[in-house]
Structure 1
Amino acid sequence: MARPREFDRDAALQKAIDVFWAKGFAATTTDDLKDAMGIGRQSLYNAFGDKRQLYVEALRTYQRGTTSGHLHRLIEPASPIAGIEELLVGLIDEDDDRRLLGCMGVGSVSEFGSADPELTALREKVAPVLHEKLLARIQEGQRTGEIDSTLDADEAASFVQMTMTGLQTAARAGGSLDGLRRLARFSVDRLKAK
């Protein structure tokens, strides 16, 4: 008879996310994972499969959580321009150590590019959802006069998504809290009606 698991799978997965987020896929060893997760090698394999399968699950879980947060910050404010500002400023963690991690998703793109079809498919599930919501908020802001009506709304949504990537990369490179917030607000100002 198989022994029951002696660990909380969700808590262990969160520890794996933290390791992959900090180190990336290639630099993370199985020993790093089992030590952080507080489980043995066999338990890791039994519960999550190999390192690759664990990484994909970790990235999927991370993306689900961050995308939900992005959408909440974007949609919650009544003002479209305030929603976009909340989205961008909300990316920038106040904690220096957390901010230096940047974004696990951006890290994955940096590490794998488009060479890995499974990871590319994961990205292709979330990016259009955010783009669609950004597009709707930008069009709403154009209708209410908050956002420059001469802008191509689709291009503006892509600009905001590119800004998100840039902010996360700059955070990983050591960007300061104040400096990153200024860049986020500068980007939002480019969208405002004159």
Structure 2
Amino acid sequence: MEVFWTKGFHATSYEDLTRSTQVKKQSLYGVFKNKRELFLKSLALYREENLSILEKRIANETSPVRQLEAICETALYADDEARIRGCLIINTSLEFGSGDEDINREIIQMMQRTETMIEQAIRGGQAEGTITSRLSSRELALHLSNAINGAKMMEKSGASREEILGVLRTSIALIQA
């Protein structure tokens, strides 16, 4: 996963994979049919690890607005090296576009599960009156999800953390009641 994350699918060679895993090429072929299958497993691992972190972060917050802030904070990377490497899901989406059904399925699963978490927090905020009800929870969740993905693009492009946090704070402020 780390090699794909750093280099991307197309730029990663079997030599890169065997060097990082310390497993011979034929052994990799024995477990995974090809590089693409290994990449799909890497995407699934990345998705599950990141969603688990996100779920734990949300569980520690009591207010819906604070849950949304935690989602935004968790989506961003803490150090420059990670910011430059970017999000594996965003990187993959940019590398493949919509041309690979299996890879798109992994990307969509990540996006949908994140949007569901956002939407649940928004519904909670709408119920308590801290988040606007002028738009549906689904519309607001899609808006905030888009802002988060845009923030990830900003990270990858070298925008400052302050600029990125400003975008996310604004997105949350716009949906508050």
Mapped contact 1:101–1:171 kept (Cα < 8 A): no
Counterpart mapping for 1:1-194 below 5 A: 17-193=1-177
1:11 alignment partner in structure 2: none
Whichever residue aligns with residue 46 of structure 1, its letter is G
Q: Deviations over 1:40-74 (max 9, x none)?
A: 22222223332111101111111111122223333
| Structure 1 residue 26, shift from structure 2 partner | 0.7
Which runs of structure 1 show a deviation greater than 6 angstroms over 4 or more consecutive aligned residues?
A: none
TM-score, normalized by length of structure 2? 0.91
Whichever residue aligns with residue 166 of structure 1, its letter is G
Identity over aligned pairs, percent: 28
Structure with greater helix share of residues: 2
Mapped contact 1:99–1:172 kept (Cα < 8 A): yes
Write the distance in 2 (CA, Å) between the matches of 1:151 and 1:86.
22
Write the distance in 1 (CA, Å) between the matches of 2:76 and 2:113.
21
Write the distance in 2 (CA, Å) between the matches of 1:175 and 1:92.
12
Higher Cα Rg, which structure: 1
SS at match of 2:75: coil
- Aligned residue pair count: 177
| Structure 1 residue 75, shift from structure 2 partner | 4.1
Whichever residue aligns with residue 134 of structure 2, its letter is T
Write the distance in 1 (CA, Å) between the matches of 2:14 and 2:23.
11
Q: Deviations over 1:128-147 (max 9, x none)?
A: 33322322211210121211
Write the distance in 1 (CA, Å) between the matches of 2:85 and 2:173.
26
Mapped contact 1:167–1:180 kept (Cα < 8 A): yes
Write the distance in 1 (CA, Å) between the matches of 2:171 and 2:59.
18
SS at match of 1:100: helix
Write the distance in 2 (CA, Å) between the matches of 1:160 and 1:75.
19
Whichever residue aligns with residue 24 of structure 2, its letter is G
